[in-house]
Structure 1
C-alpha cells in the first residue's frame, strides 16, 4: 500500500460516500481483502476499525463467518492502523498471526486494531492488538498480529 494511505483516508472521508469510496480503494490495494468487502469505519494513528458483513460468500459449512474471512478482516484493519501510525522514515511488514477463537461469528463483525504511540518510536517488532466483535458485543476472535518495523532504505543505496 502506498505510504500516503492515511492522507488518502483523510481526504476522502469528507466527501459524500467518502468512507465507502476509501473502503473500495483500500480493498483494491490488497485484492484479497475484497473477499470480505471491508467497510472502513475509522482510521487514525494507533487505532482503526472496519466492519465485515456476514454473507453467504464468506460462510463456512455451519453458516457462520469462516475463520479465515475473520482473519482477513483483522489483517485489513491491522494494515490501516500500521499505515496511520508508521513514521514516514520507516516501513512495516507483518510477521505472523496469533489469535484465539472465542465464539461463533454469527453476525456482522467489527474488526478493531490498536497499538500504543511508544510502539512506533524505534525499529523492531510491534504486536498490533486485534479483535473481532459481533453486533451483540461478544468478542469472537482476539489476538495479535506481529509486524516488523524497519528504517526505509535511503534512495540510491
Structure 2
C-alpha cells in the first residue's frame, strides 16, 4: 500500500485521534477529505464487529477505508498478542484483554478525554447496571476495561 501524499500513516492517524472510527466521542483531527482518500485503517475482531455497513459509513462520512477482518476468538487473541503491526484497531472481547494486555500491544485511553464518559452505562464502569445491582459472573467489563493511571 502506498503512503498517503500528505505524510499521514495509519499509525499517525490513530495516534492523532483516528480511533474516533470506533464510535467514541473523541474529536478527530481536522483533515481535508482529499487527504484521507488513500488512508486505510486495518480493523479485526470477531464476526459480530465486522459489519460491512460500518465500513461503508466510514468511507462515506470520513473518506478513508476501514478494512475489516473477522476471526474466531482464539485467532483474535493470537493476532493481538503476536502481530501488533498487522492491525490498527483490535476489537477484542473483554476476556481477551487479560491475555493481551501483558504483551504491551494495547494502548490505554485517558477517560478524561472522552466527552460523554459520564453517560456510559454503569455496567461498563462499575459492573453494575444500577447501583443496587449484583455483579454477574464472567468477565465483567469494568474488571478489564481500566488500567492504573500512569504517573
The question of a shared fold, defined as TM-score above 0.5 by the shorter chain, is answered with no
TM-score (norm 1): 0.24
If each structure's strand is expressed as a fraction of its own residues, which one has the higher value?
Answer: 1
Larger radius of gyration: 2
TM-score (norm 2): 0.25
Which structure has more relative contact order (CA 8 Å, sep 6+)? It is 1
